[in-house]
Structure 1
Amino acid sequence: MSNIMINLSHKTYPIHIERGLIDSIGKEIKKIYGGNKIAVVTDSNVNSIYGQKVEDNLKSEDYNVKTFVVEAGEKSKSVNVLLNLYDELLDFGVTRGDLIVALGGGVVGDLTGFAASTTLRGIPFVQIPTSLLAQIDSSIGGKVAVDLPKGKNLIGNFYHPEAVFIDPNVLKTLHKKFLHDGMGEVIKYGAIKDRKLFDTLLSFNGDEELLENIDEIIYTCCSIKKEVVEKDEKDKGDRMMLNFGHTIGHAIEKYFGYEKYTHGEAVAMGMYKITKNSEAMGITEKGTAELLKQILIKYSLPFEVEALDKSKVLNTIAMDKKNDRDRMNIILLNKLGEAFIKNIDSKLMENYI
Structure 2
Amino acid sequence: MVIIDVHLTQKNYQIRIQSGLYHICAEQIAQVWTPRQIALITDTNVAPLYLETVESQLIQAGYQVTPIIIPAGETSKSLDQSMALYSQLAAANFTRHDGVIALGGGVVGDLAGFIASTYMRGIAFIQMPTSLLAQVDSSVGGKTALDLPAGKNLVGSFYQPDLILIDPDFLTSLDQRQLLAGYAEIVKVAALNGGTFWQQVTGIQSAHMILAQAETLIQQSVYYKAQIVMADEKESNQRQLLNYGHTIGHAVETLANGSLMHGEAVSIGLVAMQHLVEQSGLTEAHLTPVITTVLNAVGLPTDSPLLMSDRLFTQLLHDKKNQGDAINLVYLDAIGVPKIQSIPLTTLAANLFSKKTGNQPTDTLQ
* Range of TM-score over shorter length: over 0.9
Say which SS state the counterpart of residue 45 (structure 1) adopts.
coil
Partner of 1:322: 321
Corresponding residue number in structure 2 for 1:331: 330
Q: What residue identity is the alignment partner of 1:57?
A: Q
Letter in 1 for 2:245: G
Q: State the 1:40 CA deviation.
A: 0.3
1:195/1:305 CA distance change after superposition, 3 Å: farther
Aligned counterparts of 2:306 and 2:71: Cα–Cα separation in 1: 29
User: Matched residues in 1 for 2:303 and 2:26: separation?
Assistant: 44
Residue type matched to 1:235 in 2?
A: E
Opposite residue 194 of structure 2, the aligned amino acid is D
Aligned to 1:348: 347
Cα shift at 1:199: 2.2
Q: CA deviation at 1:209?
A: 2.7
Contact 1:41 1:101 in 2 (8 A): yes
**Runs (4+) off by over 4 Å:** none
How do 1:252-267 residues align onto structure 2 when only pairs under 5 Å count? 252-257=252-257, 259-267=258-266
Which sections of structure 2, spanning at least 5 residues, go unmatched?
A: 356-366
Aligned to 1:103: 103
For 1:202 and 1:338, the matched residues in 2 are separated by 17
* TM, length-normalised to structure 1: 0.97
How many pairs were matched up? 352
Q: Is the 8 A contact 2:252 2:306 kept in 1?
A: no
Contact residue 252 and residue 266 of structure 1 kept, 8 A = yes
SS at match of 1:241: helix
Q: Distance in 2 between matches of 1:59 and 1:274?
A: 48
Structure 1 counterpart of 2:236, which letter? K
Give the equivalent residue in structure 2 for 1:174.
Answer: 174
Given the alignment of the two structures, is residue 312 of structure 1 paired with residue 311 of structure 2, yes or no?
yes
Measure how far apart 1:286 and its partner are: 4.2
Instruction: Give me the whole-angstrom Cα distance separating, in 1, the residues matched to 2:121 and 2:90.
Output: 13
Cross-structure match for 2:33: 33
Counterpart Cα distance in 1 of 2:295 and 2:260: 14
How far did 1:308 drift?
4.3
Q: Distance in 2 between matches of 1:231 and 1:308?
A: 33
| 1:262 to partner: Cα distance | 0.3
User: How do 1:157-306 residues align onto structure 2 when only pairs under 5 Å count?
Assistant: 157-257=157-257, 259-306=258-305
CA–CA distance in structure 2, aligned partners of residues 308 and 208 of structure 1? 30
TM-score normalized by structure 2?
Answer: 0.93
**Structure 2 Cα separation of the partners of residues 194 and 90 of structure 1:** 47
- The structural deviation recorded for 1:285 is 4.5
Identity %: 38
Q: Secondary structure at the match of 2:310?
A: helix
Task: Give the letter for the 2:341 counterpart.
Answer: K
For 1:240 and 1:310, the matched residues in 2 are separated by 26
Aligned to 1:59: 59
* 2:35 aligned counterpart, secondary structure: coil
What is the RMSD computed on CA atoms of the aligned residues?
Answer: 1.3
Shift of 1:253: 1.0
CA distance in 2, matches of 1:281, 1:36: 56
Partner of 2:360: none
Aligned equivalents of 1:85, 1:10: Cα separation in 2: 27
CA distance in structure 1 between the partners assigned to 2:332 and 2:195 by the alignment: 12
Q: C-alpha deviations, 1:182-217, integer Å up to 9, x for none?
A: 011000001122243222112134232322221111
1:136-165 residue CA offsets vs partner (Å, 9 max, x unmatched)? 111011110100000111111000000000
Q: Does the 8 Å CA contact 1:245/1:331 hold for their aligned counterparts?
A: yes
- 1:244-296 deviation digits (Å, cap 9, x = unpaired): 11011111111121x11000000110110111122223434444110111111
Corresponding letter in the other structure for 2:240 = M
